[in-house]
Structure 1
Amino acid sequence: MISVTALSKSFGSVRAVHDLTFEVAPGTVTGFLGPNGAGKTTTLRMILGLVRPDAGTALIGGTRYTDLESPVTKVGAVLESTAFHPGRTGRLHLETLCLAAGIPDRRVGEVLTEVDLLAAADRRVGGYSLGMRQRLALASALLGDPAVLVLDEPANGLDPEGIHWLRGYLRAHATTGRTVLVSSHTLTELSLMADDVLVVSEGRLVAELPAGPDLEDEYLTAIRSSR
């Protein structure tokens, strides 16, 4: 469970997030949608303890991320797919993360298989495509077998086959009782992937919508009504 309550954050005179409240329930894929600059990434960073809020709380299972014991086993996150040493192989990158977090090495092969990257595991990351980097980022997030996944634009760079795979993977992941929060700009993909969608505009929650074929129209209506 992710619980955000009256969350606010400003950077100088720019109000990025204002009085934002929502919950993401276990067993669901929840989309996080809004225009550029709506405050989505800032919100995700506050949930993950990377940005300190000016007011409000962001809790995971009732606890702030920074207070979690062994957080990598509770929360997996993908905020960008470029934070890799280009000279390391995908396998070595994951092994290094396991060593730092005290996770058994066997998880490396398991997550590489899960994200369908095992065949490229011993290639240097500098030669990976953007889609392969996205898969490696997801593998990194899965190492601790977390109950919560927080993903920012995870389909970026994936080809249609990869997007189809990601959709199925996240749906299956949620059916085991896990919590999945996905930020995306792709309305069509969220309509197929998510159970429901949180819509933010100018740092505020403006709608909570069911995912489905009418999502685009309902999203546009919500954004226009908020202005």
Structure 2
Amino acid sequence: MTSIRVHRLRKSFGKLLAVDDLSFTVPEGTITAFLGPNGAGKTTTLRMLLGLVRPTSGEAVLGGVPYHELDRPLERVGAVLEATSFHPGLTAATHLEAVRIAAGLPAARVARVLEQVGLEAAAHRRVGGFSLGMRQRLALATALLGEPDTLILDEPANGLDPAGMRWLRGFLRAYAHEGHTVLISTHVLAEVEQIADHVVIIAAGRLRWSGPLAGAGLEDLYLEVAG
């Protein structure tokens, strides 16, 4: 199991302090919702967790080490930060095959993840013709290639229709039920209330609240600390 821990994390971009002395942990085997208004520092925090942005100070670790020190990271952590970074001329299967080969994963994984996200029928369609919802599914398929025990997802419901959101909710519940860990950044409170076990709320780069969802009074709490 790959635990997630953020400790006294700080990130400045020039004079802009995006993340300010932020600390929290994500309980293993749960779905943790990472909430905050636009500009709160959520995406910057996730990018530091995934080694895409270097912290000014503090640490963001997975399984006790920074992402870049993980052995075979795709088999430990799957991530979706945006669903638009695909070459439009590639098919879904070709995109996944390229990632699979680069990571040294078994050939059977491509068909498996296409099935998991419901894209079997679109496997040989060019990504340039995909809707945003289909791109979200392909991004999730990419994150699942290594059969990771942890998923980190930034606004994964963007572009999904109601049926797609129900599918995502069911998928993530089943994934967590198997003992995996999910950290999901979102602004859709109604979805959080239906899926999350634990909630972390930040505003202006600082932790405002962290705890179990049960009994949290999420909407009032969110408006109080992040409004």
Q: For residue 204 of structure 1, report the CA deviation from its aligned partner.
A: 0.3
Q: Which residue does the alignment assign to 2:161? A: 159
Q: Which residue does the alignment assign to 2:222? A: 219
Q: For residue 17 of structure 1, report the CA deviation from its aligned partner.
A: 0.2
2:126 to 124, 127, 138: 124
String of CA shifts for 1:152-183, please: whole Å, max 9, x gaps.
00000000000011011111111111110000
Q: Which residue does the alignment assign to 2:110? A: 108
> TM-score w.r.t. structure 1 length?
0.96
Q: Which segment drifts farther, 130-139 or 54-63? A: 54-63
Gaps of 5+ in 1: none
Instruction: Report if the CA contact (8 A) 1:148-1:179 is conserved.
Output: yes
Q: For residue 217 of structure 1, report the CA deviation from its aligned partner.
A: 1.3
Gaps of 5+ in 2: none
Instruction: Report if the CA contact (8 A) 1:192-1:212 is conserved.
Output: no
Question: Which SS does the other structure have where 2:224 is aligned?
Answer: helix
Q: Which residue does the alignment assign to 1:72? A: 74
Q: Which residue does the alignment assign to 1:197? A: 199
Q: Which residue does the alignment assign to 2:189? A: 187
2:148 to 135, 146, 167: 146
Cα distance in 1, alignment partners of residues 176 and 21 from structure 2 = 28
> TM-score w.r.t. structure 2 length?
0.96
Instruction: Report if the CA contact (8 A) 1:86-1:124 is conserved.
Output: yes
Q: For residue 211 of structure 1, report the CA deviation from its aligned partner.
A: 2.8
Question: Which SS does the other structure have where 1:58 is aligned?
Answer: strand
AA paired with 1:6?
R
String of CA shifts for 1:72-103, please: whole Å, max 9, x gaps.
11110000001111111101100010011101
Question: Which SS does the other structure have where 1:182 is aligned?
Answer: strand
Question: Which SS does the other structure have where 1:132 is aligned?
Answer: helix
Q: Which segment drifts farther, 211-220 or 88-97? A: 211-220
Instruction: Report if the CA contact (8 A) 1:191-1:212 is conserved.
Output: no
Q: Which residue does the alignment assign to 2:88? A: 86
Cα distance in 2, alignment partners of residues 35 and 210 from structure 1 = 20
Cα distance in 2, alignment partners of residues 211 and 124 from structure 1 = 40
Taking only the aligned residue pairs, the percentage that are identical comes to: 59
Q: Give the root-mean-square deviation of aligned CA atoms.
A: 1.1
1:53 to 52, 55, 59: 55
